[in-house]
Amino acid sequence: MEYESTHATTTRHDPRRGWPSRTYRFLREWPVIPGLILTVLIVCAIFAPLLAPHNERHGDLRAPNVPPAWLEEGTSKYIFGTDALGRDLLSRIIFGARISLVVAATVLGTGAVGGTVIGLIAGYFGGQVDELLMRFVDFTLAIPFILVALAVIIVFGQSLTIIIVLLAMVSWGGFARQIRAEALSIRTLDYVALAKVAGAGSSRIIYRHVLPGVINTCIIIATLRVGTLILTESILSFLGVGVPPPTPAWGTMVSDGRDYLDSAWWIAVFPGMAIFLTVLAFNFLGDWLRDRLDPRLRQL
């Protein structure tokens, strides 16, 4: 028994056997890899002019479709290679991060504020107000967004402003529905009833008592929606109705490379990987925040 106890203690405190489990537990408790990806994304977006090795809009027509640096015909001058116009892919991907984050931040800010206000009003007052607002939400969610975007771009032309406005028009519906469900639950709690008995007005109750209860939900929805918005903007750019060229956007870069998949695959693959990793990182971060901020879903 003494030998077994000593052996168990040695095994438990052996650093050679303990660090894999500690590392695994740390990676489970904290979104390290998604955090690193998003940190790189944000740094690239903020310091794009300093980090990009070449001009993102101008290329060298004498160096079209140069392979990445690690391939046989590649060069260290163009680490990710060049596109058909000789533009450096790494520089364009770095500047494309700025476009994606600007669109996502602007649209989310608008959608989160508008959707939260509508959801709070519908959930707190209920009745006809709730019915009217929720049917309006259903109407906006039923609109075929891609078709509407194509029609609007044909009429008004391509611009970053129009893309942001179009995305903002459809981004608030998810916030409104979820916040409304939370507000319906919170308004029946005792402290809200006591605030009514104390003579507090509806606006004060919503601001001081209901809104703090839905902030966590709003943060989680916003984090999960970032990836969807970046993906939607990339789809519009891929279809030719997104950010107008020569401004580098990841979706446009994928579209430019689809005709060269058999001869210059890197033109489409690297921007596609940027989209994939960014959306995946935001989704993982949203799941982690949901587990952390919602006690009912907390698993760690």
122: tokens are: 């519908």
Q: How many residues does the chain have?
A: 300
Higher pLDDT, 95 or 155: 95
List the structure tokens of 51.
Answer: 């980090």
Taking residues 65-91, report their average pLDDT.
90
What would the mean pLDDT of 109-136 be, rounded to a whole number?
A: 90
* Mean pLDDT calculated for residue range 44-61: 89
Q: What is the DSSP string of 95-156?
A: HHHHHHHHHHHHHHHHHHHHHHHHHHHHHHH-HHHHHHHHHHHHHHHTS-HHHHHHHHHHHH
Q: How far is CA 15 from CA 2, 22, 162, 295, in A?
A: 22, 10, 57, 33
Nearest to 164 by CA among 252, 105, 224: 105
Domains belonging to the chain, first-starting first, are 41-57+72-293 (1.10.3720.10)
Give the integer Cα–Cα distance in Å for 186 and 204.
Answer: 14
Please report how the helices 211-238 and 89-125 are oriented relative to each other, as an axis angle in degrees rounded to 10: 140
Looking at per-residue pLDDT, the higher value among 146 and 18 belongs to 146
Q: List Cα–Cα distances, 20 to 38, 101, 218, 288, in angstroms.
A: 25, 35, 35, 21
- Does the pLDDT of residue 91 top 90, yes or no? yes
Predicted pLDDT at 274: 92
> How many CB atoms are closer than 10 A to CB 95?
21
Query: Quick one: average pLDDT of 194-223?
Result: 86
Write down the pLDDT at residue 295: 56
Closest CA to 245 of 132, 147, 158: 158
248 vs 233: CA distance, rounded Å? 12
Can you tell me the distance from the alpha carbon of 277 to that of 288, in angstroms, rounded to the nearest whole number? 16
Q: What is the pLDDT of residues 262-288, one digit of tens each?
A: 888 999 999 999 999 998 988 888 888
Res. 213: pLDDT tops 60: yes
Q: Which amino acid is at 298?
A: R
Contact, 41 vs 101, CB < 8 A?
Answer: yes
Mean predicted lDDT score pLDDT of the chain: 84
